[in-house]
Amino acid sequence: MHFAIYGSRHQDEFIGAIADFLRGLARDGHTAVMHTKLYRYLLHCAPGALECVRRVTDGDDFTADYAVSLGGDGTFLRTAAWIGDKEIPVIGVNTGHLGFLASLGAADLPSLARLLAAGDFALERRSIVSVGAPGLTGWPYAVNEVTVTRAESASMLHVRVTIDSIPLADYRADGLIVSTPTGSTAYNLSVGGPIVQPSAPVLVLSPIAAHSLSMRPLVVADTSRLSLRCSGRGTTMRLSLDGRAVQLPMGTTVTIERAPFALLAVQAAGHNFADTLRSKLQWG
C-alpha cells in the first residue's frame, strides 16, 4: 500500500508510536509520501524511521491508497485540503484534543496497515461545500463550515440569505455559520446549532448572537444553493472556511453549495456516531 501522511508538528508525546508505525510500513513493503512540515520535524526527532518515506511540498502532485492524519480535528481538516479532490480515504489518528473527526488513537498506529489490509474498517462519505466569492483565493472548499462575521466594526452584521434564488431570511447577528453535518459538532454546536448525523444530506444555518429571538438555526437540503450578501457599518467582512479567513469588501455576495466530490473518512470497524457522542460529550 502507498500512504500519504500529514500531521501536526507537536508530536513529542507520540513520537515513539509514529516511528514504530513508519518502521512497520518499511518492514512490510509499504511506501509513503509525507508533507514537508511533518517530514522536517521527524527528520530531527526520528530520522531512522523515514526509510520508506518521500517528502512532498504543497505544490507537488501525489497519489495514495490512504491518507493518514496525525493530530486533532484541525489537522484532519488541513489533511482534507491537502489531498484536495482526489477522494483518497482519510484515517484520522487523534494525537490532539477533542478529536471528533478521528476514530483511532496513537496506540492503534502500529496495527493500522494490517487493519486496512484486512478490510477491517468502514468508509463514510462526508459532504464538502464549495464556496464562491469575488476575491476568494486558495482552496475554496470547507469540510466543517463556512462563516461570515463582522471584521473591523463592533456593530451587528446584516446577512441577506437566498436559497435557490428565493429570498429566505435577513439575519441580524454577529455573523452566520453554514455547517455541514461533519461540522455540526464544531462551531455550529458552540452557538446552539443542532448536532447532525454525518451521513445526513443537509446543511445547517446557525446565526451567531442573533439580535432577534425568532432567528433560529435552520436545516436545509444539501442540494440547495445558498447566497449570502452582507451589509453593515464596517467596510469589510470576514469570510472563514474551516478557520481559513479572508477579509472581503462589505456587500460581497458569497455562494455556498455542495461540492462535486466528497471526503472519504475511514472509521474503525464497529464505530458508530452514537458511541462518539457518548464518549466525546460525556453523555453517559
CA-CA distance, 7 to 39, in Å (whole number)? Answer: 9
CB atoms within 10 A of CB 123: 11
Place of cell 464596517: 234
In this structure, what C-alpha cell is assigned to residue 141?
Answer: 472548499
Our CA dihedral for 28, 15, 50, 61, rounded to 10 degrees, sits at 100
* 85 has catalytic annotation: no
CA-CA distance, 118 to 244, in Å (whole number)? Answer: 37
CA-CA distance, 130 to 216, in Å (whole number)? Answer: 24
For residue 156, give the DSSP letter. Answer: P
Are 103 and 267 within 8 A, CB to CB?
yes
Catalytic residue among 28, 61, 65, 73: 73
Nearest to 159 by CA among 100, 105, 231: 231
CA-CA distance, 53 to 18, in Å (whole number)? Answer: 13
Q: How far is CA 243 from CA 55, 121, 141, 186, in A?
A: 26, 29, 11, 11
Residues acting as catalytic residues: 73
